[in-house]
Amino acid sequence: MTTVSAGDDVFVRPGRGAGLVDVFRRRYLVKLLVRKELRVRYRGSVLGLLWSYVKPAVQFLVFYFAVGVFLKMNDSVENFSVYLFSGIVAVNFFSEAFGNATRSIVGNSALVKKIYLPRELFPVSSLWVAMVHFFPQLLVLLVGAAIVGWRPTPMQLAGAVLGMVIIMVFALGLGLLFGAVNVLFRDAENIVDLILMVVTWLSPVLYQWTNVTDALGDGLAWRIYQANPMTAAVNLFHWGFWYGTTDGTAPLPPDLLVMGLVSLGIAVAFLVVGQVVFRRLDGRFAQEL
C-alpha cells in the first residue's frame, strides 16, 4: 500500500507523489514557506528588503567603473549602464534562485525529518523568494531605461518575458537536481558556488556577444556558447530593456528568438532531469538528514 486515505487527505509515501503537480495543488504551503524564508532571512536586519536594492547597486557600481570606465566599454556600448544592469538583474535572479534551491532541503531539514510535505515545495519556494528580490531590481531597471529614452516594441517585451521564463525553468531544474544530490553529498554546494562564481562571465553581461565571435569565430565553439540558456536569457534581457534605448543600429545575436526557444527547450530538459533525480532520492532525504 502506498497511499492511505484519511477523510479528504491522502498520505503518500515519499518519492511516490506527483512531483511538481503536488506543489501546484498545495500552493498555499508555498506562500507559507516564502513568508518563513523572508522572515528568517531578515530577522534582526535594519534594512530588511532594502537589501534587494543595496546589493545589486554596489555590484553595478563596481562593474560599471571597472568595465565601463576603466576598460572603456562606455565608449563602445551606447547606454552601457542599462546594458550592464539588465544583465546583472538576469544573472542575480538566476544565482539566487539556483543557489537557494540547492540548499533548500538541507536548510529545512527540521521540517523534512518531522513531517511529510511534497519536498519540491522547498526548491519552488526558494524560486519565489528569488522573485521577491528580482522584482525590485526589475523596477529600478525599468525606471533607468525609461529615463534614457526606452522605446520597446511588443516583440522586445515578449523577448524579455521569454528570458525570464528561461531563467525560472533553468534555475528550478538545476535547483531540484543539485538540491537532491546535496542531501547525500554536501560537495554539491561547493560545485554550485563555483558555477555561480563564473556565471557572470559565461554570459554577455560585462561584454558584448560580438567579443565572443571575434575570439571564437562562428563555428562549434560559438554554438556551444549559445547553448547555455543563460546566454540566451541575458541576450533577451538586453534586447528587451537595452536595445530600445539605443539608435537601433547595434547588431543583434543571430537567430535571437530561435535560440531563445531552443534554450527554453534545454531548460525544460534540465527541469525534467532534475525532477526525475529529485523523486528518486526523495525517499532518502529524512534518513540522510
53: exposed, middle or buried (C-beta count within 10 Å: 0-12, 13-18, 19+)? middle
Name residue, grid cell 525599468: 142
30 in Cβ contact with 126 (< 8 Å): no
So what's the pLDDT on residue 166?
Answer: 97
Q: What is the pLDDT of residue 6?
A: 41
H helical segments located in the chain: 20-25, 27-41, 51-63, 73-76, 80-107, 109-114, 121-147, 154-184, 187-202, 209-216, 220-226, 229-237, 256-282, 285-288
| Ranges of the chain with pLDDT below 70 | 1-18, 44, 46, 289
What is residue 289's predicted lDDT score, i.e. its pLDDT? 66
pLDDT computed for residue 1 by the predictor? 40
Buried/exposed code over 251-267 (b: 16+ C-beta within 10 A; e: otherwise): eebeebeebbeebbebb
pLDDT at 16: 59
Q: 4-42: per-residue pLDDT in tens?
A: 444 445 555 555 566 777 777 777 888 888 888 878 777
**What average pLDDT does the structure give for the chain?**
86
Cell digits of residue 46: 535594519
Q: What is the pLDDT of residue 12?
A: 57
Domain limits, the chain: 15-288
pLDDT at 138: 92
In the chain, % of residues over pLDDT 70:
92
Residue 252 DSSP code: P
